[in-house]
Amino acid sequence: MPPLLHPALPLLLGATLTFRGLRSALGRLPLPAHVRADPLRTWRWHNLLVSFAHSIVSGIWALLCIWQTPELLVEIETAWSLSGYLLVCFSTGYFIHDMMDIVISRQAGASWEYLVHHVMALAAFFSGIFWSRFVGGGVLTLLVEVSNVFLTFRMMMKINNAQHLLLYQRTLGAFLLGILLMLDIMILIYFSRLLRSDFCPQSVPSQQHKDKFLTE
C-alpha cells in the first residue's frame, strides 16, 4: 500500500507550527507605547518580529549552505544538500504561516502583494521539496534574507516612530536596494543560462571550448 503522506509533509507541518508558536510567544512580549496604541500597528509589529526572526535564521543558514556546498551556486537545478533541503522546508513553513496570519487577521486586502510573493515562492520551493529539483535555486533565492534583516528592522523602527534614532539611516536604503538588485541580476543570469542550456543548445559553445560557468 503506498504511503499516505509524502516524507516532506511532516517537515512542512513542523516548520509551520514552529512559526505559529513563535508568533504566539512573541505576542506576549511588551510592546512599545507607540505600537500598543494602535491595533493595526500591534499586529504588524508581531508579524514583523516573526519575519525578522526568519530572515536572521534563513539568511545565515543560506550562507552556511553555500559555504558547505558551493555546487549550489552553479548547479541550481540538480545540486542538492540535506542542509539546503531542510532550509527550503523551513522557509516554506514560514511563508505558509505568514499567509495564514495575513488572512486570519483580515489583512489580505492591504497586504495582497505579500500573498502574491508567498504564492510564487511556494510554487518554486515545492519543486525542490517534492521533486528535489532547484534546491540550489531555492537556497540562492534565500540569500536575499540577509538584506531583509536590515529592511525588516528598518520597518519596525518606522512603525515604532523611531526614525530619529541613529540606527535608522535613510542612506542605508540605497545600499540595501543595491544589494537586492545585484542578487536579482545574479538570479536572472542563472535563469538565462538554464534556458539557453535546455532550450537553445545550439547557442552553447562546443565541447572543446566549453566553460562550465557559462554553459550550465
- In this prediction the pTM is 0.77
Residue located via cell numbers 532550450: 199
- Does the pLDDT value for residue 162 go beyond 90? no
- Does the pLDDT value for residue 2 go beyond 50? no
For residue 1, what pLDDT band results from cuts at 50, 70 and 90? Answer: very low
Express each pLDDT in 120-136 by its tens digit. Answer: 999 989 989 999 889 99
Angle between helices 171-199 and 135-142 (to 10 degrees): 170
Look at 7 and 10; give whichever has higher pLDDT. 10
Residue located via cell numbers 495575513: 102
Nearest CA to 86 among 144, 138, 22, 149?
Answer: 138
CA distances from 83 to 32, 58, 66, 93, 178 (A): 37, 11, 10, 15, 28
Q: Is 72 exposed, middle or buried (0-12, 13-18, 19+ CB in 10 A)?
A: buried
Mean pLDDT of the chain: 83
Task: Give the E-state strand segments of the chain in sequence order.
Answer: none
- Does the pLDDT value for residue 191 go beyond 90? no
Q: What is the C-alpha to C-alpha distance for residues 75 and 57, in angstroms, rounded to an integer?
A: 24
How confident is the model over 10-27, as a mean pLDDT?
96
Residue 50 CB-half CA count within 13 A: 30
Domain coordinates in residue numbering, the chain: 12-194
Backbone angles phi, psi at 137, to 5 degrees: -65, -35
